[in-house]
Chain A
Amino acid sequence: MADRLFVQGNEAVAWGAVSAGCEAFFGYPITPQNEITEWFAREFPRMGRVFLQSQSETGSINMLHGAAACGVRAMTSTSGPGWGLMQEGMSNLANAELPCVVVLVQRGGPGAGTTRHAQMDYASATHGGGAGGYRNIVLAPASVQELHDFMPLAFHLADKYRNPVVVLSDAILGQMAEPLERKQLEFEPLPPKDWAVLGKAHHADGKRRGISIGQGFIPNPDFPTYLSFIDHLDKKTKQMRQDEVRFEALNVESARLILVAYGSMARACQGAMEMARAEGLDVGMLRPITLWPFPSQAIRRNIREGVQFLVVEDSLGQMVEDVETAVGERAPVHFLGMLARHEPREMGMIFPDRILEKIKEICRK
């Protein structure tokens, strides 16, 4: 096995899915995720696994629903406009309690926006855009290696909670190439999927299996009433909040200014932090890895006398609201967004030196 590859982020997603034992992929063409769909179209049939190009992202998410109901690991990938179409499906998957993974390679919005990079789907990925009352874990990789490693993690968490998981990539991560070490990741064992639909004759107990998007609506032995189902979802949500928060903290212990960023902007912030520290500025960084559940506690733990926060996001400000909620009135929260790009066109980027400029502006005050 070629253990080391030099690949694009979008291809790393596919290698990660293969190492997780993903058996089925459903996708619809949309930039900037096309390399993912094309990889599966090329490789999956000869591995004896299922690739199917759908008629729309609505089709993709519902095909995913069917495959997940059979108990296999299955996924789709998309970008902003397709993600919009998938919202109904996400809500249904949450009700049906079906584990699956959606990779969302963000581009600029709203509407068709631009096919270039942006981080403008944070809000809909973390807070849900479908019919209300559901939650899903959102993982935010910040390198090609993490795009690979977070796929098995995403499948594991999906199976553990019987809930969809979103891997939130973006056009920069998806298109950039970095070295990738392919490895098999180990996780705690999971119970068998004895709820999977296979045809009644294929169950050891000889009893039928049913998967429904109407849990709580149509009574079943597990949930005889609506509130008994809602209570179950609430317990699951609380468990995820308690056990699944992930983040990376760099130099936060003594920092006077803490940068908060995820995905590609975390890479820019890391550069800015190093430049600032080389100039003697006490700057740290907190990188949420799970955007939901959000590492609010980790942020609160670092609120000290004189500490300030700077949120850097390639949007007009979405995650910053979660940081503000976590911090409250106890410390200033600054924001640097997509209007700070180096040029006003869609290919403009927020570079580390622009972030450093903002850091100095805050520290001078």
Chain B
Amino acid sequence: MNGESREGLALFGGVLGVPPKALKSPLPASRERGDTGGERTSDHMQRQLVAGRPDAWMRLEFNPIPTCPGCQEPTATRAVLDVLEEMGMEGEAILVPGVGCHSLIPFMLDLDHVMSAHGRPPDLASAIKRVLGRGAADRALPLVFTLQGDGDCIAIGAGSLVNAAARSENITVLMLNNVNYGTTGGQMSPTTPLGHATSTTPGGRTPDYGYPVRVPEMLATFQGVAYAARGAVNTPANYQKTRAYIKKAFQTQMAGRGLSMVEVLCSCPPDWHMTPLNSLKWIEAHIIPQFPLGEFKGP
């Protein structure tokens, strides 16, 4: 681990009492400006910029990506930002994160956001949409979307999600599914696939622990749900498809058609006890077969 990385960790440890303002950026100044193209940095092999960060990903003084190495929640978030940028909707978007690793992401994003209690983003989002949309005849704006984990969305938050779907709330629910409770050390969640080991199913999940829940498939049966899909970001092809799903979900909301939902399968290498690369292979070989990708309801 090099000096800069250690400083990066210390910066994230601002919660331990160090004011983030007092510390300098862990990134070389050149990367702060976002122009690393072809430039040699002090501690890495030569890197070439193939794609810049979306504008809405803020260049903050503390760690710009607050998640573990190999975590795909920022990857999925990036797909969301790409879509918002493409639609020119950053200024109209309101993000409602739940509680989990993803709670840290909105602080890095240049978007209005309201952090929810664990599992309750659909409740907050319903109210925000109804309150701010009440003047507009079409009730299309603002673009309100949740960012939730699998535990947040379908364990503790199942009641909120199901009832928002039943009420046909004109919001978008984004569920980042890493098939376990990442923040707390990788316990079983309702979406843990059979055979997948977690700290509370040490020998792998068996039917004794119940069966994984397939959320978009379930929501597709609701009259109030207009769009439901599942994507992954483990390959460039899947990333592009997921991006298209998210765009369709947002368009569904802007057309006022009712609740739209996209699940995104994400890797969680530390809690799966795998390397980032093996995590991607695990998604392909063991998770996608139990959680098929595609659209389950749509226009």
Contacts and interface: CB of A to CB of B under 8 A. Distances in A.
B112 A210 contact: yes
A214 B103 contact: yes
Contacts of A214: 103, 115
Contacts of A219: 14-15, 19-20, 62
B130 A212 contact: no
B39 interface: no
A54 interface: yes
A24 B114 CA distance: 18
Interface string A210-227: 111110011111001111
Contacts of A224: 14, 19-21
Nearest to B113: A210
B107 interface: yes
B124 A200 contact: no
B163 to A, nearest CB: 4
Interface string A187-215: 00000000001111110000011111110
B77 to A, nearest CB: 15
Contacts of B94: 197-199
Contact of B123 (A54, A197, A199): A54
A72 interface: yes
A65 B159 contact: no
Nearest to A52: B130
A212 B107 CA distance: 10
Interface in B1-59: 14-15, 17-21
A218 B15 contact: yes
Interface in B82-117: 90-94, 96, 103-104, 106-107, 109-117
B255 interface: no
Contact of B110 (A48, A58, A200, A221): A200
Contacts of A52: 126-127, 130
B134 interface: yes
B111 A66 contact: no
A23 interface: yes
B124 A65 contact: yes
B128 A67 contact: yes
B249 to A, nearest CB: 18
A333 interface: no
B230 interface: no
B142 interface: yes
A59 interface: yes
A212 B91 contact: no
A210 B97 CA distance: 11
Interface residues of B, number: 45
Contacts of B96: 66
B128 A69 contact: yes
B112 A209 contact: yes
Given A50-B134, A72-B131, A219-B14, A200 B117 contact: no
Contacts of A37: none
Interface in A63-116: 63-67, 69-70, 72, 74, 88-89, 92, 96
A92 B20 CA distance: 24
B127 A200 contact: no
Contacts of B15: 217-219, 225-226
B125 interface: yes
A245 to B, nearest CB: 31
A311 to B, nearest CB: 36
B233 interface: no
A26 B160 CA distance: 14
A23 B135 CA distance: 12
Contacts of B112: 197-200, 208-210
A10 interface: no
A119 interface: no
Given A62-B116, A197-B112, A219-B14, A24 B127 contact: yes
Given A55-B163, A208-B111, A202 B91 contact: yes
A52 B104 CA distance: 30
A58 B120 contact: yes
B127 A63 contact: yes
Nearest to A212: B115
Nearest to A54: B123
Contacts of B104: 218
Nearest to B143: A199
A197 B128 contact: yes
Contact of B113 (A26, A62, A197, A227): A197
Given A54-B123, A69-B114, 11 more contacts: A26-B127, A62-B117, A66-B114, A67-B128, A69-B124, A197-B113, A198-B142, A208-B110, A217-B15, A218-B15, A226-B17
Interface of A: 23-24, 26, 48-50, 52, 54-56, 58-59, 62-67, 69-70, 72, 74, 88-89, 92, 96, 197-202, 208-214, 217-221, 224-227
Interface of B: 14-15, 17-21, 62, 90-94, 96, 103-104, 106-107, 109-117, 120, 123-128, 130-132, 134, 141-143, 159-160, 162-163
Q: Give the 9 A-B CB pairs with smallest separation, nearest first.
A: A201-B91, A66-B127, A66-B124, A62-B123, A224-B19, A55-B163, A62-B120, A63-B127, A69-B114
11 contacts: A55-B159, A56-B159, A67-B131, A198-B94, A199-B132, A199-B141, A200-B90, A201-B90, A221-B21, A225-B14, A225-B19
